[in-house]
Amino acid sequence: MSEAGAAPGAAASAALIDTHCHLDVARFDGEHDEVLARARAAGVVGMLVPAIRPSTWPALVRLGARGAGAGVRLALGVHPQIVPELTEQESAQGQTEALCAAIEATRREHPGLVVAVGECGLDGGTAEPALQEQLFRAQLRAARALRLPVIVHVLRAHDRAPAILRQERVFEFGGVMHSYSGGPDLVPVYRDLGLCFSFAGPATYPGSRRPVAAARAVPAELLLAETDAPDQAPAPYRGQRSEPAMVAEVIAGLAAARGQSPAEVAALTTANARRVFAAWQAMMTPAS
C-alpha cells in the first residue's frame, strides 16, 4: 500500500479504535484530512493521540479539536525518549501540578478531548534515566490526581518499571502498556497493577515470537490494539508510514495469535478501549 492508499483491513466492517497514534508529527503534515478519511473508511471510530513534549501540546490540542468529530482524543504528557532534549521550561511543564493545570485548562476549553495522561514511562536506550524516572513519577501522580488512565511506554526497562508503577499506585487509576514489549512472563505483573496491554505492528510480523506469545497470554478484557503511527506499520506494510486505518491489520494479527476471528478481536478491543477511556465512551458512536 502506498501512503495515499487505503488499508483494506480484515476487520474493516467493525467499529475499531486505534489506542495509540502520533498524528501530530511532521510525517503527517498537510495530510490530516486524508488520513482521517482513510481511517473512517476502514471502520476506525476512535484514535488516541498521545503527546510527545510540552512544546507541541498547543498544536496537538488544535489538531485534536479539529479531529474530534472523527473520534480523535488526546493524552498530554512527556515521552521518555524526548527527555534529553527537553528545555528547562518543558521539564517544569512535565511536573505534576503544571501538567494537571494544563490538562484541566484543556478540558475546560474542549470537554472530553483529553482522556489520558502520557505518553510517559522509561526507555532504556535513552539518556538521563534519573530525569526520565522523575518525570514518569510526576505524570503518574498527575494521572492519579485527575483520575485519568495513563499511557505507559516501557522499553528495555522492565526491571525498573513495575516497582515505580506499584509505588505510585497505578492500580488506583489504571492505564495501558503501549506497544507492549515485555514477554508473556511479565503479563501477570502488569495485569496485577491494573494495566491493559496494547499491541502494534510487531504482533503481525512473521517470526515475531515474543509479542505473539505475549498477546496469547493477555486476558481478553485487557487486550487493546494500536498502530503507533507513523511507526511500526503492520505486515504487509512494514517499512511504510503507519496510520490508523491499518489498525485492522493489527487486529487480524492478534486474532491469528489468539486463535479467534478478526471480528471477535475487533469487538473485544473496541469494547475494552471504551471501558478504559470512560470519557471517550460517552462521546463516541459506531461507524455508520
Has residue 70 been placed in a domain?
yes
Q: What is the pLDDT of residue 288?
A: 34
Closest CA to 10 of 199, 252, 234: 252
Number of domains in the chain: 1
pLDDT for 8? 43
pLDDT for residue 282: 57
**Could you count the other beta carbons within 10 Å of the beta carbon of residue 58?**
11
What does the radius of gyration of the chain's CA atoms come to, in whole angstroms? 17
Structural domain span for residue 147: 16-283
pTM, 2 dp? 0.93
CA distances from 274 to 112, 139, 280 (A): 13, 22, 6
Closest CA to 151 of 179, 178, 172, 133: 178
The answer to whether residue 158 is domain-embedded is yes
Find the CATH number of the domain harbouring 240: 3.20.20.140
pLDDT in tens, 225-282: 999 999 999 998 999 999 999 999 999 999 999 999 999 999 999 999 999 997 656 5
State the cell numbers at 288: 455508520
Residue 6 belongs to a domain: no
Q: Helix 209-217 to helix 247-258 angle, to the nearest 10 degrees?
A: 70
If phi > 0 it is left, if psi is from -120 to 50 it is alpha, else beta; for residue 179 that is left
Q: What is the mean pLDDT of each run of 10 residues along the chain (288 residues)?
A: 41 81 98 97 96 98 97 97 98 98 97 96 98 98 98 98 98 98 96 98 94 97 98 95 98 97 97 86 48
124 falls within a domain: yes
Residue 2 lies in a domain: no
pLDDT at 228: 98
4 inside domain: no
d(CA 212, CA 199): 9
144 falls within a domain: yes
pLDDT at 281: 63
Q: 3 in a domain, yes or no? A: no
